[in-house]
């Protein structure tokens, strides 16, 4: 089940909120947690009826391990077992097929084919962050297994993030305040995310998919390749940030405050800045649980390079079992290392830094989307003039069909509303904003529902990770 489906919007969500709010007002906070947990399990089982047992088994094992680590006896051994279990689980379901497929090219072994459970990368990292924080005594172990299960399986962020730290919502699991203002804010944030996904990302995704698929079978002109690459660049941003908006909005509806996962990454003037703004929860996770424990930048130059290499290798591998993801991670390792060592982005004009950054990011997303290295080489060749010329009739058709939505996407990638609020922060502006947002959100929701009813199934990009 996904947020932008009719089943979720017209059936699952109204029923969940109705029972949660009405029953909770009579039966209290504990009932709300149980209802939210039950519906989270239903939400996951809807699309993964068998893999729900993998999730539940992981919760039970890590519940026990968290308590044993807190007790202090053999805590390192229990931590090691937790890492082996969680990373082993992730390896079997996400990487075993890829490894056996690659080994088969060298030695005659049986190729294993295992379906990928939705959201396993996200909830595995959440579980490990909980275990790490208990080990470092940042949080106490959760003694109520239902509360731990709620933290791990809460449906707003279960399948595509953001990666929520247990320490961020520990208090809200046990006691949280809910009111009409918070619910209103959450609803509006959800609608904004839904519009990003349905009205922008899905449209651009159709264009990008057609161009990338065409490039797999024939040469394409340079400008067509760039239209496809730019369309995917904005598609993945509006798709993933839209999901995060919906997750954060739904969290508010239930009284939870999830941290922001995107901060206008496409205004960045360097790759280092881009990764402070893009998928913030993942960047922070690798910083706190990999980069800093390895020594961060407070080590020798060679060790610092090694630390960066490990982080970017794992970042690439985390995104998927494909050589393209590893190449994508290594590209960012080399570029970020170059930025840090030369400080070159601090010495050039910001406008030039912005242009360079966006070109690199666009090429990076091309690597990210390519099915394999052969398709990638062909597409990159087309982008740099080694395809079927510069332009043809299809280029003009793609341009006409995408120019308006790409222009809107480009403008929307800048913090225009926040800038206006910052410069004209007064009660009148706030009232005007609320008066505009209320009817606008209703119109956006209506358009989204019409598109969903008349459209086809289009899963979130990060469901694959």
Task: Please give the positions annotated as active site.
Answer: 319
Q: What are phi and psi of 164, to 5 degrees?
A: -90, 130
Looking at residue 111, what DSSP letter applies? P
Distance CA 258, CA 72 (A): 30
> Contact at 8 Å (CB) between 20 and 36?
yes
The token pair at 289 is 């649980």
End-to-end Cα separation, the chain, in angstroms: 16
Classified as helix, coil or strand, 332 is helix
Enter the DSSP assignment of 110: P
Residues 6+ apart with CB under 8 A from 428: none
Q: What is the 3-state secondary structure (H, E, C) of 342-363?
A: HCHHHCCCHHHHHHHHHHHHHH
CA distances from 131 to 42, 61, 158, 200, 281 (A): 25, 11, 18, 38, 17
DSSP code at position 175: -
Helices (H), 138-270: 145-153, 166-174, 180-195, 202-217, 222-253
Calculate helix-pair angle for 427-454, 180-195, nearest 10 degrees.
50
Q: Confirm if 238 and 258 have CB atoms less than 8 A apart.
A: no
Nearest to 262 by CA among 196, 217, 328: 196
Q: What are the φ and ψ backbone dihedral angles of 395, each rounded to 5 degrees?
A: -60, -45
Query: Are 139 and 167 a contacting pair, CB within 8 Å?
Result: yes
């Amino acid at each position: 089940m996904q947020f932008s489906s009719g089943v979720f919007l017209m059936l699952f969500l109204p029923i969940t909120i109705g029972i949660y709010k009405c029953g909770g007002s009579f039966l209290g906070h504990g009932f709300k947690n149980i209802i939210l947990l039950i519906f989270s399990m239903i939400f996951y089982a809807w699309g993964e009826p068998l893999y729900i047992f993998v999730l539940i088994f992981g919760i039970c094992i890590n519940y026990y391990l968290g308590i044993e680590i807190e007790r202090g006896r053999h805590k390192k051994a229990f931590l090691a077992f937790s890492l082996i279990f969680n990373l082993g689980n992730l390896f079997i379901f996400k990487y075993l097929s890829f490894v056996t497929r690659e080994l088969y090219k060298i030695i005659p072994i049986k190729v294993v084919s295992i379906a990928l459970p939705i959201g396993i990368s996200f909830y595995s990292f959440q579980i490990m962050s909980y275990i790490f924080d208990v080990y470092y005594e940042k949080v106490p172990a959760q003694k109520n297994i239902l509360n731990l299960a709620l933290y791990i399986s809460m449906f707003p962020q279960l399948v595509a993030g953001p990666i929520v730290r247990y320490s961020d919502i520990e208090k809200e699991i046990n006691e949280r305040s809910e009111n009409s203002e918070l619910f209103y804010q959450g609803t509006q944030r959800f609608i904004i995310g839904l519009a990003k996904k349905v009205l922008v990302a899905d449209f651009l995704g159709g264009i990008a998919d057609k161009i990338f698929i065409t490039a797999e079978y024939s040469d394409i002109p340079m400008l067509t390749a760039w239209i496809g690459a730019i369309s995917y660049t904005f598609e993945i941003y509006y798709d993933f940030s839209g999901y995060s908006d919906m997750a954060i909005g739904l969290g508010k509806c239930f009284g939870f405050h999830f941290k922001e996962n995107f901060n206008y990454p496409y205004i960045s003037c360097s790759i280092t800045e881009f990764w402070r703004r893009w998928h913030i929860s993942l960047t922070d996770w690798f910083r706190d649980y990999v980069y800093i424990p390895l020594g961060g930048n407070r080590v020798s130059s060679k060790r610092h390079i090694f630390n960066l290499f490990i982080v970017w290798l794992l970042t690439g591998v985390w995104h998927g079992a494909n050589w393209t993801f590893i190449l994508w991670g290594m590209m960012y390792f080399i570029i970020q290392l170059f930025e840090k060592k030369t400080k070159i982005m601090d010495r050039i004009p910001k406008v030039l830094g912005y242009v360079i950054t966006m070109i690199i990011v666009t090429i990076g997303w091309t690597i990210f989307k390519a099915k394999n290295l052969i398709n990638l080489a062909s597409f990159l060749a087309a982008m740099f003039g080694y395809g079927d010329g510069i332009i043809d009739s299809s280029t003009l058709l793609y341009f006409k069909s995408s120019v308006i939505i790409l222009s809107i996407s480009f403008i929307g990638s800048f913090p225009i509303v926040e800038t206006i609020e910052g410069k004209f922060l007064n009660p009148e502006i706030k009232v005007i904003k609320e008066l505009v947002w209320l009817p606008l959100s209703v119109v956006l929701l209506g358009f989204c529902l019409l598109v969903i009813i008349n459209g086809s199934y289009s899963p979130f990009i990060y469901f694959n990770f």
